[in-house]
C-alpha cells in the first residue's frame, strides 16, 4: 500500500513537484540566512558537511522535478534511492551536529543555551520528518507510475497504457 495523495488533498505528482520546488527555495533561504544573520560558532567540518548534503539534496530535487515532469521512472527510481541515502546522511549529520552544538553551547558562557538547543532539535526533527515523508511520497509515485504505465523496451521512459480492444 502506498500513498495516493500528497498531504491528503493534492495529487501525488503535483505534490511532489511542489515539495521539490519548496526544498530548493528552502535551500536558498537557508543559505541567505546563514550568510547574513548566522552567529553560531560551528566548526568548519560541520558547515562543510551541511553544505554538501544540502547541495546534493537540491541537485536531486532538481533531477526529481525533471523525472516527474518527463514521467521517466528510471530517474524517479534513482532519486528515490538517493533521497533515502540523503535521509541516512541527515540522520548521521544530526547526531554529530547536535553533539557538537551541545558541546559548544555548554562549554561557552551563553545564557540562552536551552532555547538554542530546543531550536536546534526542532529544526533537526522537522527536516528528518520532511525528508522521510518525501521518500515515502517518491516511493508511492514510483509504484503508481509502474502500475499505470508499461515500459517502452527501447527507452527507459514509461508511457500510458493503451486500452486492449478485442475484435
- Nearest Cα to Cα of residue 53 among 76, 83, 18: 83
- Over residues 79-111, the pLDDT tens digits come to 999 889 888 988 887 787 778 777 777 777 556
What mean pLDDT do residues 1-14 have?
Answer: 79
Please tell me the predicted confidence (pLDDT) of residue 50: 73
How far is Cα 121 from Cα 84, in angstroms, rounded to an integer?
A: 21
| Banded model confidence at residue 2, pLDDT cuts 50, 70, 90 | low
| Banded model confidence at residue 62, pLDDT cuts 50, 70, 90 | very high
Q: To the nearest whole number, what is the mean pLDDT of the chain?
A: 77
- Nearest Cα to Cα of residue 13 among 58, 70, 54: 70
What mean pLDDT do residues 14-29 have?
Answer: 89
Amino acid at each position: 500500500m502506498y500513498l495516493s495523495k500528497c498531504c491528503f488533498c493534492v495529487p501525488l505528482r503535483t505534490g511532489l513537484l511542489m515539495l521539490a520546488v519548496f526544498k530548493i527555495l528552502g535551500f536558498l533561504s537557508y543559505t541567505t540566512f546563514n550568510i547574513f544573520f548566522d552567529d553560531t560558532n560551528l566548526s568548519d567540518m560541520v558547515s562543510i558537511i551541511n553544505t554538501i548534503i544540502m547541495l546534493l539534496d537540491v541537485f536531486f530535487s532538481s533531477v526529481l522535478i525533471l523525472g516527474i515532469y518527463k514521467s521517466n521512472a528510471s530517474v524517479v527510481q534513482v532519486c528515490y534511492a538517493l533521497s533515502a541515502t540523503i535521509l541516512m546522511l541527515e540522520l548521521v549529520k544530526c547526531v554529530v551536529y547536535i553533539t557538537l552544538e551541545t558541546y559548544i553551547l555548554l562549554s561557552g558562557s551563553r545564557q540562552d543555551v536551552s532555547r538554542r538547543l530546543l531550536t536546534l532539535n526542532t529544526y533537526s526533527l522537522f527536516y528528518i520528518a520532511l525528508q522521510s515523508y518525501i521518500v515515502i511520497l517518491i516511493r508511492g509515485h514510483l509504484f503508481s507510475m509502474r502500475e499505470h504505465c508499461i515500459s517502452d523496451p527501447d527507452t527507459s521512459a514509461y508511457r500510458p497504457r493503451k486500452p486492449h480492444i478485442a475484435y
